[in-house]
Every structure is written in C-alpha cells, then in structure tokens.
Amino acid sequence: MKRLLIVSGRSGSGKSSALHILEDIGYYSIDNLPLSLLPEIVAKLDQENHLDMLALGVDVRTPRSDLMEFESILEQLKAHGEVEVLFLNARDDVLLARFGATRRRHPLADRYSTLQEALVAEEALLAPVANRATLTLDTSSLNVHELKQTLTVKMGQGDQMILILQSFGYKHGIPLDADFVFDVRHLPNPHWQAALRPKTGLDKDVQDFLGSDKNVNGMFDDIYQFLSKWMPVFAESHRHYLTVAIGCTGGQHRSVYLVNRLSDALKLQWPTQTLHREMKHWS
C-alpha cells in the first residue's frame, strides 16, 4: 500500500466531511473502526484489494483501551506502507456553535452533564492520536468547500515536501495548524490609504505601495532567508509539508502580498501552494 491515512478529530470538527473529500481525491475510505482491529483489516485489504491509498476514520467511540495503545497500533500499521495521521480540530466555541446549529448529540453526552465537559473529556481521550498527527488541520474558519480546497492542497502532493504559504487576519484568529507564524502588523498598512483600502495584496497598486517600503522588503528578506536555510533540513526529516502562516490585521493586504511574493521566490526550489484564508471576507 502506497499511502495509509488515519483520519481522526474532535466531534464537530469535520472528520466525516474530510473522509468524503478524501474519497473524491482517490482514497478508499472506511469510517468508525475500532483501533485494535486496524492492523488486521489493513492487512486483509492490502492482500486482497491492492489499494494505493486508504483512509481510516477513528474517533472517540473507539474503546479507551485502544486509544491508549495507539502508538503500538501505529507501529503495526507501518508494516503495510507509509502511515500518516490527519487530526482535525476547532476552537471550543466553534464546536459548541456547530452542535447547537445541528442539534446533534455528542458521542460522550451520556457520560457528562454539559456539552463543554464532553468536549474537554474528548480532547483528553484523543490526545494520543493528536500527539502523533503528521497533519493537524484547524477547521474553525472553514466551510465544507474551503475544507475541500485545503485538504486537496495538503494531501495531493507527491513524495517531495510541499511548502504551504497561508495569509490570514489576526482579527479572525491565528491558524492552529501552522508550523510557523509571522506577524506583519507592524508594516505600513494600505488600509489607511483611501485608494488602496478596497483592494488586496493581489493588486498591483498595493504591491507597488508595499514593495517600495524598506521594512516590508526587510521582512521579506528575513522570512525568505529563514525558509531557504531550513527547508532542506525539514525535508530530510521526511516531512510531507510545511505550513507557514503570515498574518496582518485583516488578511487582505500585507499578508497576501508577502505570501505571493515568497511563493514566487521559492517555487523554483520547492513545490509551493498558497492559501488566502480571509478571501471570503474581501469586499
């Protein structure tokens, strides 16, 4: 088997949606399996079906004893090929709102008096899986379409490590799944220029404004040098991706400009993808 992916996450974070999306990009997906049965099931599927890509959904409904043995089960699965762990997460307030909107019952609802208590307990129970995740995805600000775009970018790469450059706005929250976060709110803000305010970092007027500032250029040079130096080291550790998030206040001008400029500078050295998280907020 070329690729085996364990998909887990907190209830309400989008695990089921992620499995459907993975099916769309070529994975054979199975949900809600007890962890202790995975080695046997994977061995049978590998022997009889010769699958290239298999995604297995695991959540808090699996026995607690299985979760405590996740490390051992993971090692057994490695006999069948490369194993990755995708863990989906979201902020507690977002999860509470999603359960309120859908009126779904939390899997641990019978054991705890409040939904908040169930969420806290679930996070602790899933910690052995979350701690071994090769990809953690924060879905707090993602709808289903954005989740599909993000998963397609992050799971569709080949053997070479991919650099994911993401712009975001601090007023909408820091991405929980970024490996590195750079704050560029100290740089000149085009928002305060009336002619530039409705535009974005994709527009030439904004690019010219920011590109003429020495501090903007200095920030670009520092991030570029950092990534150029350390990307080969990260790649040697057999990582499949590196997510670098750059944030300004609203995620419309400065962060977008720097993400695109860095992508242009680095894409000849590394497979590079760009994500502009706040695009849906642009007027």
Long-range contacts of 16-20 (CB under 8 A, 24+ apart): 16/57, 17/144, 17/147, 18/86, 18/88, 18/137, 18/147, 18/151, 19/55, 19/57
**Residue 46 carries which DSSP code?**
H
- In the DSSP assignment, the letter for residue 90 is -
The span from the CA of 117 to the CA of 139, in Å, is: 21
- 185 annotated as ligand-binding: no
Question: Is residue 14 marked as binding?
Answer: yes
The rounded distance, in Å, linking the Cα atoms of 71 and 58 is 14
Separation CA 83–CA 192 (nearest Å): 48
d(C-alpha 86, C-alpha 201), whole Å:
31
Is 36 annotated as a binding-site member? no
- Any known ligand binding at 100? no
For residue 59, say whether it is annotated as part of any ligand binding site: yes
Residue 91 is labelled as binding a ligand: no
**Strands ordered across the beta sheet of 162-169:** 180-183, 241-248, 162-169, 272-276
Q: Is 10 annotated as a binding residue?
A: yes
Query: Is 171 marked as binding a ligand?
Result: no
Report helix angle 92-102 to 115-125, nearest 10: 120
13 annotated ligand-binding residue: yes
Residue 61 among known ligand-binding residues: yes
Binding site membership for ATP: which residues?
9-16
Binding site membership for GTP: which residues?
59-62
Binding site membership: which residues?
9-16, 59-62
